[in-house]
Chain A
Amino acid sequence: MLITNAWILFALSLLASALGGALGMASGIFIVPLLVLLGLDVHAAVGAGLVSVIACSCASAAPFLAKRLAHVRLAVVLEVATTLGALCGVWLSGVVSTPVLESVFAAVLAVSAWQMRRRRTPPAFAPAMTGVGTAWVRRLDSRYDDEAGRSTSYRIGRLPLGLALMYGAGLLSALLGIGSGVLKIPAMDTALRLPIKVSSATSNFMIGVTAAASAGAYALQGALLPRLAGPVALGSVVGALLGARILFRVSAEALRALFVVVLIALALLMSLTAAGVITAGARH
């Protein structure tokens, strides 16, 4: 089945984005496998996924910026690594075969399911660092206001490790058309020791720039098709806005359990597609 109807793409993206947004995930991780399973070539699906990531990042950044939860200076530092990773990912995408790409996607889906089941825990306060560049890194220490209006200070942890993980996140984003939360979450929580709210907001702020690096390259190569990416992006924005309003009433635990099941099912289907057991219809 070849999906070319714009309204079907819009509806699918809206659903995926509304569900993904409820747990703070970019919708690309659901949209790309869905498009592949519905018969789209994985490279075209990745292009559409990247535009949806940009749309969701830009649409939802304003409230995080207004509350000063997104750390813009840290974001621009980390974006050096993510955009470099994306640049390498663009180059690799021309080398990696479709079955390998589908296999990597299946692995990322499985790790995401494991991460979601494990839940995020508040990171410990970063210990004082010594060494070259420490004084400059301390300039990135900041604070944010919690729900009660109290100002909470935080300091940045191991920046070099964070940059290395961010490079990997950028690479995965360009290869798979996703926001790469699978690497950004450990980078923000474990390496940089950011408070969860700050890491979510900063990550959301950054993913648009990372995705733009590869989306622009794919578009100029002709691998990104606006007639597919347009409805996917529009559906993602509407879904993200609706999801935040509607789905907060659903139990977070029930939603988390549902997502783990969906991610595992998509991982299995992508593995079978990569192995050639499932033929995903006529390829675009």
Chain B
Amino acid sequence: MTAADGGAGNLERQLAHLLRGGTAVACTLVALGLLLGSVGGSSAHAGAVLTTIGVWTLIVLPVARVAWMTGWFAWRREADFAAISLAVLAILLLSFAAGSAGG
């Protein structure tokens, strides 16, 4: 029995749901944004806002995936993998902070 066998695929199933659902939501928002944008007028502004939210949903989705894994490993008391995924989460947030600082 290896570490990867633990949890009998529960984590994989949950991650698949999260990524599939998140991508569907993001793509719907972007598609609606594009459609509204092509109408023009005041709808164009609403379209731009929806597109921006859709793009941000996509960017945040992998971060949410890592956060979910961190919680799952912590709940399963796999301290080593929880710590590693927490480190990934910290680097992601550091990268975002570097971006907002303009560096």
A261 in the interface (beta carbon within 8 A):
no
> Are A73 and B4 within 8 A (Cβ)?
yes
B41 in the interface (beta carbon within 8 A):
no
A37 in the interface (beta carbon within 8 A):
no
A226 in the interface (beta carbon within 8 A):
yes
How near does chain B come to A97, taking the closest CB pair, in angstroms?
A: 17
Interface of B is mostly: helix
In the complex, which of the residues A59, A143, A216 contacts B96, with contact meaning CB atoms closer than 8 Å?
A216
> Are B87 and A7 within 8 A (Cβ)?
no
- Binary interface profile of A, 1-39, with partner B (CB < 8 Å = 1, else 0)? 000001100100000000000000000000000000000
A residues near B22, Cβ cutoff 8 Å = 58
A172 in the interface (beta carbon within 8 A):
no
Tally of A interface residues using CB under 8 Å: 59
Stretch at the interface among A123-131, A180-188, A206-214, A265-273: A206-214
How near does chain B come to A179, taking the closest CB pair, in angstroms?
A: 13
Q: Which of A231-283 contact B (CB under 8 A)?
A: 231, 233-234, 237
> Are A216 and B23 within 8 A (Cβ)?
no
Interface range for B: 35 or more
- Complex Cα spacing A84 to B58, Å: 20
> Are A7 and B38 within 8 A (Cβ)?
yes
B residues near A193, Cβ cutoff 8 Å = none
Closest to A57 in B: B62
Q: Which of B2-55 contact A (CB under 8 A)?
A: 2-5, 9, 11-13, 15-17, 19-20, 22-23, 26-27, 30-31, 33-34, 37-38, 48, 51-52, 54-55
Taking each of A57, A61, A80, A213, which has the highest tally of chain B beta carbons within 10 Å of its own beta carbon?
A213
> Are A142 and B55 within 8 A (Cβ)?
no
A96 in the interface (beta carbon within 8 A):
no
In the complex, which of the residues A59, A79, A217, A219 contacts B98, with contact meaning CB atoms closer than 8 Å?
A217
Closest to B29 in A: A230
Stretch at the interface among A87-95, A100-108, A110-118: A87-95
In the complex, which of the residues B34, B56, B60 contacts A231, with contact meaning CB atoms closer than 8 Å?
B34
> Are A83 and B54 within 8 A (Cβ)?
no
- Complex Cα spacing A83 to B66, Å: 12
How near does chain B come to A229, taking the closest CB pair, in angstroms?
A: 5
B79 in the interface (beta carbon within 8 A):
no
> Are A216 and B81 within 8 A (Cβ)?
no
- Complex Cα spacing A260 to B22, Å: 34
- Complex Cα spacing A219 to B59, Å: 9
A55 in the interface (beta carbon within 8 A):
yes
- Complex Cα spacing A221 to B102, Å: 5
> Are B85 and A215 within 8 A (Cβ)?
no
A161 in the interface (beta carbon within 8 A):
no
B residues near A76, Cβ cutoff 8 Å = 66, 69, 81, 84-85, 88
In the complex, which of the residues B60, B88, B98 contacts A80, with contact meaning CB atoms closer than 8 Å?
B88
- Complex Cα spacing A139 to B45, Å: 52
A72 in the interface (beta carbon within 8 A):
yes
- Complex Cα spacing A80 to B84, Å: 7
A residues near B98, Cβ cutoff 8 Å = 87, 90-91, 217
- Complex Cα spacing A68 to B53, Å: 31
> Are A51 and B55 within 8 A (Cβ)?
yes
- Give 11 CB contacts A-B under 8 Å: A54-B62, A55-B26, A55-B27, A55-B58, A61-B19, A76-B88, A80-B88, A140-B2, A209-B62, A212-B59, A216-B59
14 additional contacts (CB under 8 A) given A65-B16, A70-B12, A230-B51 = A7-B34, A7-B38, A57-B62, A62-B20, A87-B95, A143-B2, A209-B62, A216-B60, A233-B26, A233-B54, A233-B58, A234-B30, A234-B31, A237-B23
